[in-house]
Amino acid sequence: MKTFHLTVARVGENLFDGEAQFVTVPGEDGVLTVMANHEAFVTPLKSGTIRIEDAEGKKQEIEWEGTGLLEVSNNQATVIL
């Protein structure tokens, strides 16, 4: 499966930084999934669970309360919490 570079961070801490097959995030308008070569966009996030499947197929979940931002461009995605 194709991969993209994913960074998930909050102030002073990287929660994930590497190649991923997909990431699913709780957007303000609903849950969305980003995969390799996704169209560029920026969207606000709400509290919930981020689900990641890395390049080797290992799954990880990150729970958090608050708001955030997802930015996707050039086969990279950045989540700021």
Identify the CATH number of the domain in which residue 56 sits. 2.60.15.10
pLDDT computed for residue 1 by the predictor = 87
The total domain count for the chain is 1
Domain range for 69: 4-80
For residue 3, give both structure tokens: 């991969």
- Paired residues of 21 in beta bridges: none
Q: What's the whole-model pTM score? A: 0.95
pLDDT computed for residue 28 by the predictor = 93
**C-beta separation of 34 from 41 below 8 A:** no
Per-residue pLDDT of the chain (81 residues), as tens digits, is 899 999 999 989 999 999 999 999 999 999 999 999 999 999 999 999 999 999 999 999 999 999 999 999 999 999 999
